[in-house]
Amino acid sequence: MKLAVVGATGLVGSEILEVLAEHNFPFDELLLVASERSAGKKITFKDKEYTVIGLAQAVAEKPDVAIFSAGGETSKEWAPKFAEAGTIVVDNSSAWRMDPTKKLVVPEINAKSLKIDDRIIANPNCSTIQMVLALAPLRERYGIKRVVVSTYQSVTGSGLKAVNQLMDEREGKDGEKAYPHKIDLNVLPHIDVFQENGYTKEEMKMINETKKIFDDQSIQVTATTVRIPVMGGHSESVNVEFKEDFDIAEVKQLLSATPGVIVEDDVANNVYPMPMNAHKRDEVFVGRLRRDESQPNTLNMWIVADNLRKGAATNAVQIAEYLVEHSLV
């Protein structure tokens, strides 16, 4: 097994390496790959030093699996080249998510759709992953008509430049900016670029990806995505209207029995999901479960996950693990 991590020097790339180590992912050879300007850098992984190589060299090495986290443009250009060389690409960018010829995979929900000839597999958007994982068992039991989601997203979702902007502002220093406004002590209802319909690209990702992952165009989804000055994870307020009525106790039971989901819902003792507790965790945390008293068959829930873990690195590694376990690579 020859494994490549493309974008190994970035925030998500570093997290992928951590998850690979924690999960003891099986490989015989590891290629750490980045842009030409990063080639030659040294990265230590499991007490062994690796030299970062460029994309062209990595393609020539013909890895069995390449986990990409190098941005959409890089993925569009290089993922097909890896695929042509016989590599299975698991891609973290938005480049392939809505391509009808590519699978969009959250392993706990739809990994069974993967086939031996899937050469480029898309990893969903971080905010979509945590929401659909929590919704999946409830959809199966009650059916879903409509989802209204508002997000509270960590600056880590914008990369290292955004983290540096927050810390610079907190320390009163001037530096490189990732956002058009100050982020410390502020809230930005603006993630990714605005579209002609007034929604941001991030909001449309949540809408379209949810339908694709569930393979159900009938689900109505509307989203407002917001950046807040925290690190550790994304939080979401989700209002979901079911086709059938539900019982709160059963909802908690279904969620508690879902792999990768942890219910934290004890308001009498101030227990509910928070990004500071989700940090460096692979699970999706769900709480504040309560009936929407304004209309029937509708549930309010609060969903939190580390966006660099289950929202990106962990989900990608889990896809690769599925491929290995089911002899698809």
Catalytic site residues? 126, 234
> Distance between CA 293 and CA 288 in Å, rounded?
14
Indicate the helix (H) or strand (E) that contains 261: strand 261-263
> Distance between CA 217 and CA 72 in Å, rounded?
25
Cα–Cα nearest to 327, from 108, 114, 126: 114
Cα–Cα nearest to 99, from 81, 119, 127: 119
Calculated CA dihedral for residues 10, 26, 101, 91, nearest 10 degrees: 0
Annotation: binding site for phosphate: 97
Strand, coil or helix: 36: coil
User: Within 10 A of 77 (CB to CB), how many other CB atoms are there?
Assistant: 12
Q: CA end-to-end span of the chain, whole Å?
A: 9
Annotation: binding site for substrate: 153, 227
C-alpha distances out from residue 99 to 104, 120, 211, Å:
9, 10, 13
Q: What does the buried/exposed string (b/e) look like for 241-256 if buried means 16 or more CB atoms within 10 Å of the residue's CB? A: bbeeebeeeebeebbe
User: Within 10 A of 73 (CB to CB), how many other CB atoms are there?
Assistant: 10
Annotation: binding site: 9-12, 37-38, 97, 153, 227, 307
Q: What is the CA radius of gyration of the chain?
A: 20
Annotation: binding site for NADP(+): 9-12, 37-38, 307
